[in-house]
Amino acid sequence: MRLIEGKKIAADIRAEIKEETERRRAEGKTIPGLVVILVGDDPASHTYVRGKGKACEEIGYVSKIETRPASITQEELLDLVNAYNNDDAYHGILVQMPLPDHIDEKTVIHAIDPRKDVDGFHPINVGNLMIGDDALAPCTPSGIQELLARYEIPTKGKHLVVVGRSNIVGKPTAALMVQKKERANAIVTVAHSAAEDLAAITRTADILVAAIGRAEFVTADMVKEGAVVIDVGMNRVEDASKKRGYRLTGDVDFENVSEKASFITPVPGGVGPMTIAMLMSNTMKACKQICGE
């Protein structure tokens, strides 16, 4: 078994982007800008957003974190998004999800200029990804693709099974990996909780992507010998022995599955850091496209 070191690959990508940003500065080109909008006080969201802000700082992007109380109205939030749609210093706008119940996430996503939609959640980007046109693709699926590519894991003709059908991970991972392109061209199955025999499906996977959101859901009997296992899960499990009262665990029973897998991502330190690295990459891409480069 080989460990897929997402943390290390993400650091490499961030260093590459930092170098590119420094080059742009030296050449007098526009520096990419990212604004992250954080509503309310969900502790996990605060942690994620801090990570995104730190990455921007380290790379040298223009960046801002706009925090708003959970009491913000939808109209006020839409006005804030719109202000950044019209602000040339910012090429990426990310509204951290989830949003409070009185705000319709879809309406907010639709309000973001698709050219600045670095999450790749706007229907324009989702549609372009689906038909194989150039798009800002969602960060976690792009991170998975990048990990497979950097570990030179073949995908062409391989059976990739993604468990989970979310709009953030499951569906876009399938859309990305089924493309008739380099680094993709997989035979893709989207499996989910309604499967009559989920293990029978997952056992046929050459590459198994677990994006269910349930701690240690994927057990060794669900995995083929030699499969590549990508764990997207980030679950907080109560653990009194930890100072913060919980430990982070993936959607995969790492201890047992790692004995069967040829490659496997750890949690933490696997897919998670890649999501931020790809956000930085999308912000660079958006900046260049907006600047007409």
Residue numbers at the binding site for ligand GUN (CB under 6 A): 94-97, 119, 139, 168, 275
Question: CB of 139: closest distance to ligand GUN in angstroms?
Answer: 6
* 261 or 278: CB nearest ligand GUN: 278
| Catalytic residue of the set 113, 119, 251, 253 | 119
Residue number with CB closer to ligand GUN (65 or 187): 65
Residue whose C-beta lies closest to ligand GUN: 97
Catalytic residue (choose from 96, 117, 158, 231): 96
Least distance from C-beta 113 to ligand GUN, angstroms? 15
Select 81 or 205, whichever has its Cβ closest to ligand GUN.
81
The residue among 162 and 168 lying less far from ligand GUN, judged by its C-beta, is: 168
Q: Is 253 in contact with 212 (CB distance < 8 Å)?
A: no
**Residue 52 is a catalytic residue:** yes
Q: How far is the CB of 275 from ligand GUN (least distance, A)?
A: 6
Q: What is the DSSP string of the chain?
A: -EE--HHHHHHHHHHHHHHHHHHHHHTTPPPPEEEEEEES--HHHHHHHHHHHHHHHHHT-EEEEEEE-TT--HHHHHHHHHHHHT-TT-SEEEEPSPPPTTS-HHHHHHHS-GGG-TT--SHHHHHHHHTTSS----HHHHHHHHHHHHTT---TT-EEEEE---TTTHHHHHHHHTSSSTT---EEEEE-TT-SSHHHHHTT-SEEEE-S-STT-B-GGGS-TT-EEEE---EEEE-TTSTTSEEEE-SB-HHHHTTT-SEE--SSSSHHHHHHHHHHHHHHHHHHHHTT-
Query: How many whole angstroms separate alpha carbon 160 and alpha carbon 290?
Result: 34
Rounded to a whole number of angstroms, the minimum distance from the CB of residue 2 to ligand GUN is 27
Q: How far is the CB of 70 from ligand GUN (least distance, A)?
A: 16
Please say if 179 is a catalytic residue.
no
Task: Return the number of the residue (46 or 203) whose C-beta is nearest ligand GUN.
Answer: 46
- Per the annotation, the verdict on 251 as an active-site residue is no
**Catalytic site positions:** 52, 96, 119
